[in-house]
A and B are shown apart, each in its own frame.
Chain A
Amino acid sequence: MRWTFVWKTVVLGGVIITLAGCASVKREAGFGDVRRLAGDRTGQTVRWNQGSSQDDEVASAVRVLLAKELTADEAVQIALLNNRSMQATYEELGIAQADLVQAGLLTNPIFSISARWTDGGPGGTNLELGITQQFVDLFALPLRKKIAAARFEQTKLRVAGEVVSVAADVREAFYRLQGAEQMLELRRSVLDAAAAGVDASQRLRDAGNITDLNLATEQATLEQARIDLSQGEADVLEDREHLTSLLGLWGNDVGFKIGQHLPDLPATDVPNEGLEAIALRQRLDLLSMQAQTKSLAQSLGLAKKFALLPDVQIGVDSEREPDGSWMTGPNLSVPIPIFDAGQAATGKARAELRQSQHAYYAKAVTVRSQVRAAVNRLSITRRRAIQYRDVLLPLRQRIVDQTQLQYNGMLTGVFQLLQAKRDQIETGTQYLSTLRDYWIARVDLERAIGGNFPGAMPVTQPTARPSDEVAQSAEHQHH
């Protein structure tokens, strides 16, 4: 008869366990959403290397890309596939997913047993057995799962945001390097022009037509320019390293080649309308803060609901008296909320909620400002680049042409001709610098609005609400 109680306990436990469900942590948890969120905003695919055969496909895809001159998009693609710290970031999903699962798990019941012997007195051993179970869990579970799901959502948004951010960083580093290499090339031809001038001076000296002082002066100017150029070369190498590390490359791969020319200014500029609204809709850090607010609201709900009864334990225990009889019965323990009625916990949750709301609005204002600033910078840089390209560069060409005509008429000498050429190349360098600044300003604007420009790529919003997400994952878990 006493065994029926034990069985009851076991059955009770089993029911509880069944209710809890055999939740397990899935791999690739939520990555599909990250892929979609990031893909919509960057136009790139992302891969979470799980140690499967698919990793080799990724590696060979990267190889194929590295074989030729990279475009900005291809560099971003390589980074998203190859950068190990991205992979580390993806694991946060696993962590958050685990938290989600954890939230759905009931606390394990606690089985206790104790035995006592009399110290010289009549009778046998006193045995106590008991099983207790957290009771509030059962009711709190759905709410806890909602909170965890909201946090999971937040993590997904954060990870996707990280992807978008890295994509922007790679783009910026790419344009910076591309511009720097292109400008270095031009500076080398300025140096060539200067060297040609010194060559001419040397020949004049050899013919006995100029003084040693003239020649030495020309040579000194050239050699100083050479030294200045080598500093420029060092700067380019640093820019290159920055990109290399973003792409996650090392060893033989550091010799990758990028396209030799910055892309031209696009024919029309981006439309300025509605960019602030797009940013507010699209920016993952804002969405992440929204998700955080939601989860804090749910935490507040939880705190309010279970403020008074945070912890109730029920159980069954059975005791064998020294005389051999078993005493079995349920037990219940309840903290009496005299001192702590949960007001602090609630207050804290409320404050945290309000805080996150304020933070969200503040961020929204900042985001708007960032968008405006980026738009202005882009437009000004574009105008400057156009001024260089359409006005000043043609003028420099005209100057070179006219100087050549003067040279042909023996009205000016070869040095003036070379100087006109050097001035032209210098202006070309400034144009390239402005063009590079334009593309980087564009990346900044994309950062400000949280993704590619509308029209470039359709951007979908994370429409699924966290609770739906949880329901779907719960269904899957039963298979």
Chain B
Amino acid sequence: MIPIDRNHVSRRDALSLAALAGGAMLLKNTPSRAEDATENRKTEIDVNKTYPPGEPGRDYTPVTIPNGWALPYTVVDGVKVFHMVAEEVDHEFAPGLRAHCWGYNGSVHGPVIEAVDGDRVRIFVTNKLRTHTTVHWHGILLPSGMDGVGGLSQKTIAPGETYVYEFPLRQHGTFMYHSHYDEMTQMGMGMTGLFVIHPRDEQRKRPDRDFALLLHEWRIDPGTYRPNPNEMTDFNTLTINAKVFPGTAPLVVKLGDKVRIRIGNLSAMDHHPIHLHGYVFKVTETDGGQIPEAGQWPETTVLVSVGSTRTIEFVADNPGDWAMHCHMTHHVMNQMGHGIPNMIGVKPGDLDEKLRPLLPGYMTMGQDGMGDMADMGMPTLPNSIPMLGAQGPFDYITMGGMFTILKVRENLASYDQDPGWYENPPGTRALLASDEVLRQNGIANDGSSAPRLNTTKVNAPSVAATQSVVPAREHDMKDMNMSDSTPQIYTCPMHPEVISDKPGKCPKCGMKLVKKN
């Protein structure tokens, strides 16, 4: 309460008053805190009004669904009618990997349901599984009984039955649908899909390209033909729209396009940080709705949690072939085994010769990682694909799983055709450094001209201690000279991080190195 002298309004007082009044006026135009919370979900439509069914093209630009499709609808009495069939589907994750899954209308994932804010939708669900099911409309505002939670919202749909869901759409954004009966099994087998609701009278500029992606994870052991939905932690097949690289179709855009990518995640257990190369994008929507511009989060990697959707937008101003993938390194490999011994750095010596009489096909592998694995051409199990990827324009692309490519081209014949590999303009590709270039820049090819931090090699501690008395390697007791195995190291008194195996001067401060005990 500002003290005002009734008798005398000072200039200071007047200013304060004005400030108050102005503030009050401003406040009046700005919704209150409670309204703030609903702003993001606020629909632009009038909930009391009936709207005609939104039409593609006129009312919205349909989303592009790599490797997928949108469910067609009919209009009956002004209501959009969709028919979904829950059934077993044989699905190909990539050429060479097929599995018996569960999905909708002959596809895994189910088709994208696309509608417009204000539409009334009537969705028939026919259950052709041998067990009960339901469909839950994830993130969508609707009456409790339409929510699709088996046993809670409705009686479950028995095998052979067709249920009908009907509700008006009162929001827009990127949502999902999935079975809500025995979710671990049914979602694990693939019963998921996207539900995209476009805004009516979109006030923002429609993007030039609008992609819809659904992330999922599976456990399909190589040589088997069915995902194991009981898997809890060790998923080996990570998918975008139910495909693994190299089965993922690229996202094709023209240079300068405004691009929107909607990403939903119905994985059983894992969030996925989706990283896009070459761009900084904004996270513009969640499954709760639009994020106001001031709050849009700039990122190169968007974390899409389980059960969430995130929409990102950017202008495709950087031409090229840009990798887009989950940044969890195990999620960009196909069907890897994790129970294998760590072979990095192992020197095979004559091990292969010793083993070949017993195991003719044996070859020591993995000493230098997995990169060389991919095109070794060794026979492996049926119905499995190489752990890592596909042949690229320059070499083998050692990626798999949740990986796809954004292809940005200046000249594009059609959005529907793969434009092939990007042709890098001269001077914009990493090349083998020629001798002349090396010389001009004072670089030695063997790396000797590079500054280095001196460290002693990390040994398996006391190699002598691991020598057993068993004459497996015929070591003499006198070979076990303990004092030789731990070399003396030197360090700087000022910079303990500096380590050297011989005396000298500290490269940072020039002080004489001392023995480290």
Given contacts A189-B358, A196-B355, contact A222 B472 (CB under 8 A): yes
> A420 to chain B: closest CB distance in Å?
9
Which of A195, A208, A222 sits near B460, CB closer than 8 Å? A208
**Residue contact A215 to B466, C-beta cutoff 8 Å:** yes
**Residue contact A203 to B359, C-beta cutoff 8 Å:** no
A215 to B470 CA separation, bound complex (whole angstroms): 12
Q: Mark B212-228, 1 if CB is under 8 A from A, else 0.
A: 00000000001100000
**Chain B CB within 8 A of A351 CB:** no
**Chain A CB within 8 A of B510 CB:** no
**Chain A CB within 8 A of B99 CB:** no
Q: Which of A247-270 contact B (CB under 8 A)?
A: none
**Chain A CB within 8 A of B342 CB:** yes
**Chain B CB within 8 A of A127 CB:** no
Interface size class of A (residues with CB under 8 A): 35 or more
**Chain B CB within 8 A of A88 CB:** no
**Chain A CB within 8 A of B421 CB:** no
A415 to B362 CA separation, bound complex (whole angstroms): 12
Q: Mark A189-227, 1 if CB is under 8 A from B, else 0.
A: 100110110111011111111101001100100110000
Q: Which of A160-206 contact B (CB under 8 A)?
A: 189, 192-193, 195-196, 198-200, 202-206
**Residue contact B335 to A203, C-beta cutoff 8 Å:** no
**Residue contact B346 to A409, C-beta cutoff 8 Å:** no
**Chain B CB within 8 A of A421 CB:** yes
A405 to B347 CA separation, bound complex (whole angstroms): 23
**Chain B, residue nearest A193 (CB):** B358
**Chain B, residue nearest A189 (CB):** B358
Which residues of B are found within 8 Å of A234, using beta-carbon distances?
A: none
Which residues of A are found within 8 Å of B386, using beta-carbon distances?
A: 409
**Chain B CB within 8 A of A400 CB:** yes
Which of A212, A415, A417 sits near B359, CB closer than 8 Å? A417
**Chain A CB within 8 A of B15 CB:** no
Given contacts A219-B468, A421-B359, contact A408 B341 (CB under 8 A): no
**Chain A CB within 8 A of B364 CB:** yes
A400 to B336 CA separation, bound complex (whole angstroms): 20
Which of A193, A202, A413, A421 sits near B472, CB closer than 8 Å? A202
**Interface locus among B28-36, B172-180, B296-304, B374-382:** B374-382
**Chain A, residue nearest B365 (CB):** A410
**Residue contact B381 to A212, C-beta cutoff 8 Å:** no
Given contacts A196-B351, A208-B460, contact A409 B380 (CB under 8 A): yes
Given contacts A222-B472, A408-B379, A414-B364, contact A206 B339 (CB under 8 A): no
Which of B335, B348, B376, B459 sits near A411, CB closer than 8 Å? B335
**Chain A CB within 8 A of B361 CB:** yes
Q: Mark A72-94, 1 if CB is under 8 A from B, else 0.
A: 00000000000000000000000
Q: Which of A409-454 contact B (CB under 8 A)?
A: 409-415, 417-418, 421
**Chain A CB within 8 A of B370 CB:** yes
Which of B347, B359, B365 sits near A207, CB closer than 8 Å? B347
**Residue contact A410 to B337, C-beta cutoff 8 Å:** yes
**Chain B CB within 8 A of A369 CB:** no
Given contacts A193-B358, A410-B387, contact A209 B339 (CB under 8 A): no
> A197 to chain B: closest CB distance in Å?
9
**Residue contact B349 to A411, C-beta cutoff 8 Å:** no
Which residues of B are found within 8 Å of A406, using beta-carbon distances?
A: 222-223, 337, 380-381
> A330 to chain B: closest CB distance in Å?
97
**Chain A, residue nearest B360 (CB):** A404
A215 to B467 CA separation, bound complex (whole angstroms): 10
Which residues of B are found within 8 Å of A196, using beta-carbon distances?
A: 351, 354-355, 358
**Residue contact B366 to A410, C-beta cutoff 8 Å:** yes
> A193 to chain B: closest CB distance in Å?
5
A415 to B355 CA separation, bound complex (whole angstroms): 11
Which of B340, B354, B365, B381 sits near A405, CB closer than 8 Å? B381
> B182 to chain A: closest CB distance in Å?
29
**Chain A CB within 8 A of B373 CB:** yes
> B202 to chain A: closest CB distance in Å?
49
Which residues of A are found within 8 Å of B223, using beta-carbon distances?
A: 402, 405-406
A-B pairs, 10 with minimum CB distance = A411-B337, A207-B345, A409-B380, A408-B378, A413-B340, A208-B460, A209-B342, A413-B341, A408-B380, A207-B346
- 5 pairs, CB–CB < 8 Å, chain A vs chain B: A192-B358, A202-B473, A409-B381, A411-B222, A418-B359
20 more A-B contacts (CB under 8 A) besides A408-B379, A410-B387, A412-B340? A192-B357, A192-B358, A198-B472, A200-B351, A203-B347, A203-B351, A207-B344, A209-B342, A209-B344, A223-B470, A223-B472, A402-B381, A404-B362, A405-B381, A406-B222, A410-B337, A410-B370, A411-B335, A411-B381, A413-B341
Q: Which residues of B contact A (CB under 8 A)?
A: 222-223, 335-337, 339-349, 351, 354-355, 357-359, 361-362, 364-366, 370, 373, 376, 378-381, 384, 386-387, 458-460, 463, 465-466, 468, 470, 472-473
